[in-house]
Structure 1
Amino acid sequence: MSVNPVNPNLFATMSSPIMDSRRWVDGKTFSDGMPLINVSQAAPVDPPPAPLREALADAVLNDAGAHLYGAVLGFPELRAEVAQQWSAAYGGKLDAENVGITSGCNQAFCAAISSLCGPGDAVILPAPWYFNHKMWLDMAGIECRVLMCGDDMLPVPEQAAELIDDKVKAIILVTPNNPSGVEYPSALVDAFFKVAKNAGISLVIDETYRDFHSVTGAPHGLFAKDNWQDTLIQLYSFSKAYRLTGHRVGAIISSTARLAEMEKFLDTLTICPNQLGQRGALFGMQNLGNWLGGERREILDRRAAMIEGFPSLEGWTLKGCGAYFAYAEHPFEASSHDVAKALVEEAAILALPGTMFSPTLAEGGTGHAERHFRIAFANIDRAGIGKLFDRLSSFSMP
């Protein structure tokens, strides 16, 4: 018997897929002729644009509040700016009191779930899922009712309704989706809202990648609904839009009553969000709209390059593509986990297998996990995408 007991929920939680995949390349040397193509993670690798860095430097030198504890739910000016811009973008009415700022979008998710569920409660989680969502639910002892997406990578609202009982407290959606990249149509999001509202549960929508949606205008109309805050909780990240990954700034939009409960969680965990990061996010929102538009156009061009190039890959099938991700079915008999390791060794490609995003056969899955890959293309340009296709075309399992 161990003298140092481990929380059984934490012990049973999967290891971080990003950390696991990094170990596959630790200590390996890749040739100049075939350098590693890393499509495992889509976080921006460049620093924020120069004007934002200058604003951060000015805050370090001249804004005493940037170095002190702040409000638990965030910098008031940033909360007000989010409310104003969201109201305009979604055609609804949000107040600053509907907005909370968090230490990244992962913390926003954890805060939302902690306000909704206790151990033994359940949520409906579409698969393939964002792995950190699944990890937090497992750590917290919350049951995941897995809702497998169809071949089009879209979850079905009617199937979600069939999974709801007294234990279910929320439905989780991510759009544009991580890992599949698929953008959920407005009508589909609306249908899930109706399912949640009719059941008296919450709909939690992670819109981390909303700034890179391929369609202009509001991606859904939920904020224009009467009493939206009784059902909807939205999550957002400033990390992708303004390259603020290291500053950890996210947002959560909900009812004032629910945010008051989340405030307890956030106060206990981090006391307040990163003060510099919040000032950077505010500067970005107020000054970098044109720059962000250019970033969006570049990501959409890379998305187009993925869609254009995929037909050249014999046996591979593109299932979804958008925001930062492509999701594809591979042609090999082996599990995606084994194919992923072989890709590192034989083709110098680091990509994440579907076993990190869906239940495996051993876990009662349907085989989806073993057949698919996520390719995070946001950090490789058209030329890099072409090299990726060249290597995949010539790859075969050893």
Structure 2
Amino acid sequence: MTLTRTSATFAPPVMEARRWLEGVQFTDDRPLINVSQAAPVDPPPLALRRAMADFAVAEDAAHLYGPVLGNAELRSELARQIGAHYEATVDAAQTAITSGCNQAFAAVISAVTDQGDEVIVPTPWYFNHKMWLDMSGVRTIDLPTGPDLLPDPEMARALITSRTRAIALVTPNNPGGVEYPAALVRAFFDLAQELGIYLLVDETYRDFDSRSGTPHNLFQQPGWEETLVHLYSFSKAYRLTGHRVGAIATGSSLLSEVEKFLDTVAICPGQIGQFAAMWGMQNLQQWLAGERDEILDRRASIAENMPKLESKGWRLLGLGAYFAYLEHPFQIPSDLLARRLVAEAGILLLPGTMFMPEGDPDGKRQVRIAFANLDRAGIGQLFDRLQGLSF
């Protein structure tokens, strides 16, 4: 087969990890603990499902094409809620709805880069971002982070060349879990604005940020829409992962270019998913607050259980939203460790090698735990199993 950019791109990590389960038997007294994927396993709340069902039956429009950039009423509601969340003014024309947040990233990258261009991405990176850059022929410029997993704007400045088109950040971070301080996000915005490049800020997990108040003031900056590209997902907030509903907020001129990509790939976002996102924003804010409280409680449980592992040489590098990012104490690399954990501990997690450049020594010492689908008892069992490991 001829080598293409797609064939040269690594396999989807979550799908690869699922293959490690083949042929492995798990017992009732030690079932599989799956902390590999950051996605709700429960369906949307019943009230939302009933509303979606009624919409599907009663509205012919539920089954038809809609506007490429999303339905007008959803874009207006999104703009209103972004404005309220970030204490700023956002217009509906500065928003777009996409078939998931991954598509939002892909559409923006396609609109702002050409083959051979560069995008700066902190490591460890979100693997789907790296995959799309590779498949697009865009060079990923790795920005190493320190022990706190926070990227340094001045290190980024040193990496910028004439081919740099954007810097991509994820906060709260996937895979690291860390919440980027407002001053840090602002420093990256100022850098991007100064140099005339885009700053992509993926805030898929913003609804589970542990901080109160506005997480940053980028939307308040004059001319924000010429620099900032804000990405969001309704999937985590309202358990709509199967319906693929994401969003972009940026300048309307860039959205005109994004529209070309979206029209070619999907024509429009799904109508039922858009309805669900709209209904959720208008009716489920109290429910979502409860979901946030539950995630924050599970985060607290991770912190409470960490002494069990710290005594064995483990180290917590990042914690927040859906993720805990750890350094393991063993001499074997994390990709081999992760495979062995399936059969020997009944744990499926992702190794740091899936979030780092090939051969990076830090990735071989790190693992990601996606804890959002474990309650406190499950988290306790996970840490008990990890504590008992010996390699």
TM-score range (shorter-chain normalised) is: over 0.9
Q: 2: CA distance between counterparts of 1:222 and 1:12?
A: 36
Match of 1:266 in 2: 262
Structure 1 contact 176–210 (Cα < 8 Å) conserved: yes
Which residue type is aligned with residue 268 of structure 1? T
The equivalences for 1:187-226 within 5 A come to 187-226=183-222
Q: 1: CA distance between counterparts of 2:78 and 2:191?
A: 27
Q: 1:218, CA displacement in angstroms?
A: 1.0
Structure 1 contact 237–250 (Cα < 8 Å) conserved: yes
Indicate whether 1:26 and 2:26 are aligned: no
Q: 1:174, CA displacement in angstroms?
A: 0.0
Q: 2: CA distance between counterparts of 1:396 and 1:29?
A: 21
Match of 1:52 in 2: 48
Q: Deviations over 1:239-291 (max 9, x none)?
A: 00000000000000010000000000000000000110000000000000000
The equivalences for 1:34-113 within 5 A come to 34-113=30-109
Query: What is the root-mean-square deviation in Å for CA atoms of aligned residues?
Result: 0.7
Q: 1:21, CA displacement in angstroms?
A: 0.1
Match of 1:393 in 2: 387
Q: 1:42, CA displacement in angstroms?
A: 1.6
Indicate whether 1:349 and 2:350 are aligned: no
Indicate whether 1:373 and 2:391 are aligned: no
Q: Please point out which of 111, 118, 125 is paired with 1:115.
A: 111
Q: 1:360, CA displacement in angstroms?
A: 3.0
Match of 2:358 in 1: 360
Q: Please point out which of 319, 336, 339 is paired with 2:337.
A: 339
Structure 1 contact 360–368 (Cα < 8 Å) conserved: no
Q: Deviations over 1:78-126 (max 9, x none)?
A: 1000001111110111000001000000000001101110110000011
Which residue type is aligned with residue 17 of structure 2? S
Which residue type is aligned with residue 387 of structure 1? Q
Structure 2 contact 355–363 (Cα < 8 Å) conserved: yes
Structure 2 contact 230–248 (Cα < 8 Å) conserved: yes
Indicate whether 1:317 and 2:315 are aligned: yes
* Structure 1 residue ranges (4+ consecutive) displaced by more than 6 angstroms after TM superposition: none
Give the 3-state SS of the residue equivalent to 1:12 in structure 2. Answer: coil
Q: 2: CA distance between counterparts of 1:199 and 1:396?
A: 50
- 5+ residue gaps in structure 1? none
Give the 3-state SS of the residue equivalent to 1:299 in structure 2. Answer: helix
Q: 1:26, CA displacement in angstroms?
A: 2.0
Q: Deviations over 1:194-248 (max 9, x none)?
A: 1111110000000000000001111100001100001000000000000000000
Give the 3-state SS of the residue equivalent to 2:369 in structure 1. Answer: strand
Which residue type is aligned with residue 375 of structure 1? I
Give the 3-state SS of the residue equivalent to 2:6 in structure 1. Answer: helix
Give the 3-state SS of the residue equivalent to 2:7 in structure 1. Answer: helix
Q: Could you state the TM-score of these two structures normalised by the residue count of structure 1?
A: 0.97
The equivalences for 1:131-146 within 5 A come to 131-146=127-142
Which residue type is aligned with residue 377 of structure 2? A
Q: 1: CA distance between counterparts of 2:23 and 2:90?
A: 50
Match of 1:382 in 2: 376
Indicate the percent of aligned positions where both proteins have the same amino acid: 59
Structure 1 contact 181–325 (Cα < 8 Å) conserved: yes
Which residue type is aligned with residue 273 of structure 1? P
Structure 2 contact 165–197 (Cα < 8 Å) conserved: yes
Q: 1: CA distance between counterparts of 2:336 and 2:325?
A: 17
Structure 2 contact 295–322 (Cα < 8 Å) conserved: yes
Q: 1: CA distance between counterparts of 2:362 and 2:357?
A: 8
Q: 1: CA distance between counterparts of 2:206 and 2:105?
A: 16
Q: 1:64, CA displacement in angstroms?
A: 1.0
Q: 2: CA distance between counterparts of 1:351 and 1:15?
A: 16
Give the 3-state SS of the residue equivalent to 1:9 in structure 2. Answer: coil
Q: 1:75, CA displacement in angstroms?
A: 1.0
Q: Please point out which of 145, 158, 162 is paired with 1:149.
A: 145
Match of 1:257 in 2: 253
Structure 2 contact 24–343 (Cα < 8 Å) conserved: no
